[in-house]
Amino acid sequence: MTTQPLHFMPRQRPRTRLARLGDWMARHRSAIARLQWAIVVLYFVLVAVPAFLPLPPEDARMANNFTRVAQFAFWGIWWPFVIASMLLVGRFWCGVMCPEGALTEFVGRPGKGRAIPRWMRWPGWPLVGFLGTTLYGQLISVYEYPGPVLVILGGSTVAAIAVGIVYGRGKRVWCRYLCPVTGVFALLARLAPLHFQVDRAAWQAQPAHIPAVDCPPLLNVSTLSSAAQCHSCGRCSGHRGAVALRGRWPGSEIVHSQPGDVGRYEALLLLYGMLGFALGAFQWTMAPGFVQAKQWMATWLVERDIFWPLADNAPWWVLTHYPQVSDVFSWLDGAGIVVWLSGTALLVGGLAHLATAAAARLARTDWKVLALCLVPMAAANLFLGLSMLTLTQLRSEGIIFTWLPEAQLALLALAWGSGMVLALAQLRRAGVSGVRTVGAIALLAAAGAVPALLWIRTLDLFRVW
C-alpha cells in the first residue's frame, strides 16, 4: 500500500492538553472500566444495604448509623455532584461513572441484540420518566427512607439491565432513550465548557473504509455537533484524526443553536419539568399554602361525612407509611401532593411557556431554541433543591453555614443573569433588531424571575436584603 506524501496529508489541529486527556481516555478503557465497577459496588451498597436495616432512631447520627451515612452520601453528595458535573464537564458522569450505564452496556454484549422498537424511540419518554419518577418519589418519601430508594433506583437499574439484555448489543439503549434523567442531562450539558468536537474536514479527508467508532449511546459521530447526547466517554477521541476534547465558552452551544437542534418534548421537559414540577417537588413540604389547602379540604370532607380520603392504610410503596416514626400519608395527602406538583408545573412552566412563545414571536425565532436560555435557571433550581437535602442532613449533625442565605441569593442571581446574557447573545447572533431584542429579553426575564422569587419566598431570603 502506498503512502501519501507528507504535503498531501490533511492538516490537523494541534493536540492540546485537553485533546491529549481525551486520547488518554480512549487508550485506557480498562482503567475506566475498573472505576465503573467500583462505582457499581458503591452504588449497590448505598442503595440496597440500608433497605434491609432497621430505620434509624431520631437521635441517630452519621457517626453511629450507616443508614444516615448512606443517605448523606447518596442525596447529599452523589446527586448534587452529578448535576454540577453536567454543567462543568458535560455528560462525563454518564460515560465514565454511571453504574446503570456500565451495567446495561455490560449485560448487552452477550444479549439478544433485537432491533430497537419504534415505541422505544419516542422522544417523549425522558419527559414522562422524569415526571413519573419525581412524583412517585415524593409520594413515598424517597429522600427520607431507604426502602423507596431501593424501589425507584433499584427498579430503574433492573429495567436498564433488562433493556440491555434484550436490545443492547453492547450499546446503551436504556441511557439513550429511556433513562428518567437523560433529558435533564442533555439540557444541562449544553452549558458545559468542555465537549468532544469533530473536525468535519479532517474526518472527510480520511479513507472511507476506516471502521466506525464504538459509540455507546448510538450517535453518528461524524455529524456530532452537540454535547447534549454525547456521554463524553472518550472512546472516539482521535478517531480519524478528527475528534478531540476541547474547551468552549460556557453556553456557547445554546447561543449557536438553530431550529431543529432542540425538540418539542425537550423544551417541555425544561419548562414544565425542570422549572415547574421539580420546583413543586422541592418546595411542597415548606409551603404554607399546601398545609392550609389540605386542612381546608379535610374540614370540607369531614363536614360531609366523607372519611375514606383521610384513611392512612396505603402500603409504604404506594404512599409513605412509617407509623413507627409517626410519618404516615393519607389518601388526601397523596392527592394533595399530586395536585400541588401538577399545579406548580402548570403555573411556573405555563407562564414560562407563554413568555417564551411571546418572546419568540416578537423576535421571529423558534420558541424551543429561545427556551434554552432558561437552562441556567433550571440548573439552579435542581441544584438548590438537592443542596437543601444536603443542608438538612448537615443541620441534623449540628453543622450550620451562616453565609448560606447570601450564597443562595447569589446562585439565583447568577442563574437569572446568565440566562439573560445567553438570550441577548442568541438574539444578536440572529440579527434581531434592538427594540425586538429588548422586548424578548424582558419576557424571558419575567419567566426566569418566577422560580427565583418562589425560592426567595420559600427560603425566607427577603431578610438578607
At 127-136, the pLDDT tens digits run 999 999 999 9
Confidence of residue 4 (pLDDT cuts 50, 70, 90): very low
According to the model, what pLDDT value does residue 14 have?
A: 65
Examine the pLDDT at 93 and tell me if it is beyond 70: yes
Which residue, chain included where needed, has cell 419575567?
Answer: 446
- Contact (Cβ atoms closer than 8 angstroms) between residue 188 and residue 418: no
| Confidence check: pLDDT of 141 > 80 | yes
Q: What is the pLDDT of residue 464?
A: 47
Residue 329 CA to residue 98 CA, distance in Å, equals: 33
Q: What is the mean pLDDT of residues 55-66?
A: 88
Cα–Cα distances in Å, from 168 out to 109, 123, 236, 297? 7, 18, 19, 49
- Predicted confidence at residue 10, as pLDDT, reads 45
Query: What's the average model confidence in pLDDT over 86-99?
Result: 95
In 83-216, the DSSP E strands lie at 194-198
Dump pLDDT digits (tens) for 389-437.
888 888 888 888 888 889 999 999 999 999 999 999 999 999 999 999 9
CA 352 to chain centre: 19
Nearest to 311 by CA among 294, 290, 328: 328
Predicted pLDDT of residue 424: 96
Q: What is the pLDDT of residues 48-59, one digit of tens each?
A: 999 999 999 888
Q: What is the predicted pLDDT for the residue at 331?
A: 97
Q: What is the pLDDT of residue 9?
A: 39
C-alpha distances in Å from residue 55, one per residue of 241, 265, 284, 351, 453 = 55, 40, 24, 41, 36
What residue type is 403 in one-letter code?
Answer: W
- Looking at residue 358, its pLDDT comes to 97
List the Cα angle 314/319/321 in 5-degree steps. Answer: 70
Residue 463: pLDDT band by 50, 70, 90 thresholds? low
Euclidean distance between CA atoms 163 and 120, whole angstroms: 10
Residue 377 has pLDDT above 80, yes or no: yes
pLDDT at 161 over 80: yes
Per cent of the chain over pLDDT 90 is: 82
Residue with grid cell 452551544, as numbered in its chain: 253
Q: How confident is the model at residue 465 (pLDDT cuts 50, 70, 90)?
A: very low
The yes-or-no verdict on residue 12 having pLDDT over 80 is no
Region 219-245: what's the mean pLDDT?
93
Please report which residue ranges of 309-396 form alpha helices under DSSP H. Answer: 331-344, 350-363, 367-371, 375-396
- How high is the pLDDT of residue 458? 83
Question: pLDDT tens across 297-348, in order?
Answer: 999 999 999 999 999 999 999 999 999 999 999 999 999 999 999 999 999 9
Q: Is the pLDDT of residue 198 over 80?
A: yes
The answer, yes or no, to whether residue 123 has pLDDT greater than 90, is yes
Residue % of the chain over a pLDDT of 70: 96
pLDDT of residue 110: 85
Question: pLDDT-based confidence at 214, cuts 50/70/90?
Answer: confident
